[in-house]
Structure 1
């Protein structure tokens, strides 16, 4: 019988058949609408399950799952080592992983204004690998490409700059659904806007996904089990997601109530993780249940253009993390120290999350030091709004705002295809709340309803 072994953090979803009726798993879909991803092994269907992360799975010849057991357990086993020793080990391991993953391939490096891709840029510059870097910015938003261009120039990389235009999603919506199979909403993968340009490049993607989770604090020291539950709920449930999930739960007349069901599910998943340290435990929870079912889903968009490599996903990196003291991982200390040590010029470039500060000055990003920048930035945004050029900060603003976007959105939401799966009154309620109320709180529900509309047409007609 076939055996399927999944990595510690899978970059692809793999599925098996389950002994259950071929029926929609409406409880699972409710969680999907609340969080934007399916939880644990859930899918749209009761008789189809995702294989768990870090597991060995025995399937029969028909594809039914016979047995699943973990081959790796996340743990917290900090060694008594100095920070300098941890930094030395990280440097060696990180650069080895990148070198082995890429071999002699040309490299395509998406650059953001953060730390994960900047850390990769340091290693790639040391390897003297041919690199084409690129960044994209929202039309009318912060110029993330400005930081990326400085990083690329410092490292000697070729650089391309892309602008994410309003409404790019609609002509590519069904193509994106074919790529991610509607296991994620459609407003997050910005790379879809420039998919043809990416295909014209040469090389293997070096992607920085999950570095910000592995190399940062998971939870505050002393957090209780109840605290971890509340943090998990807050982290994974999107704005407006709980309201939409509750509305669907009630419309579908499911037993019990949604919020209790979700909390029970998360408690059970947290209880499976045998780690006492709250920060390490929350990191393990995210890596087991969030990374494979949300972060990994849209990696397929990159893969539709070129092969991908993921240094932070590497099993060896996960195993290393389990042995590093939390105080060294907290607040991105290792990545910051690596960049400063190996490429001080990169460390002097603005850190987007702490702009206008860099890796040497970011600790000054507190009041009153940062008030002049914050006030100036706010005045610039307000001036742009008064001039009829709204400051774009989030991808959904490019997809849902404006007459042309609204027309496309209505076509999908109110097509006959979606009924009676989701009633027109429920759709109208959330659509009208977005149009007349709090756009920020209702953008996620609209995005999930759009996802379900496309899924219903493409995979469930």
Structure 2
């Protein structure tokens, strides 16, 4: 009988059969609608499960899961070491992992204005591997490519600039559905817009996903257990997600109520994590349930173009994090000091989250020091909007705003008869709320309904 051992943070979902009826798991789909990802081992179907993270699984010859047990438990065992020692260990481990993952391959490096990819850029600049870097910006939005280009220049990397155009999603919906199997909403993987350009590049992707979770405080100091549960709920449920999930729950006439069911699931999963420190416990929860079922799902788009590597996903990095005091992880201290120590020139480049400040003076990003920039930025946006050029900040704005997008959205939502999966009155309710009540709040429900409608049409199967 085959045994499958999953990594601490799996890059790919591994499915197994379960002894259950072949019917939709409507409760699981409601959680998906609320959060944007399936929870724990859930899938669309009751007889199909995803193998848990950091587990050893025994399957029979027909693919049915017989036994599953964890081989690694997230823990918080801080060592009595100095910050300097922690930094030296991080430097050695991080650079070793990147070197081993890439070997002598050419490298494709996405560059953002943040810290994770910049940390990778430091390590890669010390290696001999040829690096092609790139950034992409929303058309009409902040030029993230401007920061990426500066980082690439300091490191001596080739650089390409991509623009995410309005409405890129519509001709690619079926392709995206085949790539991620509709296990993520369709408006987040913006890399889909430049997939054809990715395929023209050569090498292995070095992706910086999950660094911001591992190398920062999970929850504010002093957070209690009860407060942590509420924090988890607030973090996982998207704007408008609770309303959509509740509407589906009621339409499908499921027993009880959705919010109680979700809360019960979160409480049960939270209880399995034997960590007293609430900051470390939240990081563990995210790494167990959020990373594999949301972040990893969207990695599949990169994987279609070229092999992928993720230094922050490495088992050794996860084990290392469990031994580092929270105070060293808080406020991104390790990454900040690594960049400043290894490449002062990179540290002088604007940190996007604290623009116009950099890694040396980002503490000044507060009133009144940041007032001139905020006023100037507001004026620029106002002028553009008066000229009929709205400032794009979020991916859904490129997909759902404007007449052409609206026409294609309505076609996708209403041209197919989704009954009895989702009724037209429910679709119309959330579409109209997006158009007339609050576009920001209802953008997530609209994206989820689009995802569910495409999934339903692609499967061509519905078991009542």
CA deviations 1:156-186 (Å, max 9, x no partner) are: 0000000000000000110000000000011
Quick one: distance in 1 between partners of 2:450 and 2:9? 28
- For residues 391-406 of structure 1, the aligned pairs below 5 Å read 391-406=391-406
1:33–1:245: 8 Å Cα contact kept in structure 2? yes
- For residues 283-432 of structure 1, the aligned pairs below 5 Å read 283-432=283-432
Report the equivalent of 1:100: 100
1:417–1:457: 8 Å Cα contact kept in structure 2? no
Question: Post-superposition shift, 1:128?
Answer: 2.9
Structure 1 stretches of 5 or more lacking a match? none
DSSP-derived class of the 2:126 partner: helix
- For residues 58-77 of structure 1, the aligned pairs below 5 Å read 58-77=58-77
Question: Post-superposition shift, 1:415?
Answer: 2.4
DSSP-derived class of the 1:185 partner: coil
CA deviations 1:274-316 (Å, max 9, x no partner) are: 0000000000000000000000001110000000000000000
Quick one: distance in 1 between partners of 2:44 and 2:25? 6
Question: Post-superposition shift, 1:416?
Answer: 2.7
Structure 2 stretches of 5 or more lacking a match? none
Instruction: Please state if 1:40 is matched with 2:45.
Output: no
- For residues 61-460 of structure 1, the aligned pairs below 5 Å read 61-460=61-460
Question: Post-superposition shift, 1:32?
Answer: 0.1
Q: Which runs of 4+ in 1 moved over 3 A?
A: none
DSSP-derived class of the 1:136 partner: strand
DSSP-derived class of the 2:218 partner: coil
User: TM-score normalized by structure 2?
Assistant: 0.99
Question: Post-superposition shift, 1:220?
Answer: 1.4
DSSP-derived class of the 2:305 partner: coil
User: TM-score normalized by structure 1?
Assistant: 0.99
Quick one: distance in 2 between partners of 1:42 and 1:413? 25
DSSP-derived class of the 2:366 partner: coil
Report the equivalent of 2:20: 20
Question: Post-superposition shift, 1:48?
Answer: 0.5
DSSP-derived class of the 1:16 partner: strand
Quick one: distance in 2 between partners of 1:238 and 1:380? 30
Aligned length: 461
Question: Post-superposition shift, 1:226?
Answer: 1.1
DSSP-derived class of the 1:56 partner: strand
DSSP-derived class of the 1:95 partner: helix
Quick one: distance in 2 between partners of 1:420 and 1:413? 14
Root-mean-square deviation (CA, aligned residues, Å) is: 0.6
Quick one: distance in 2 between partners of 1:144 and 1:294? 23
Question: Post-superposition shift, 1:460?
Answer: 3.7
Q: Which moved more, 1:355-364 or 1:217-226?
A: 217-226
Question: Post-superposition shift, 1:418?
Answer: 1.6
1:24–1:46: 8 Å Cα contact kept in structure 2? yes
1:417–1:456: 8 Å Cα contact kept in structure 2? no
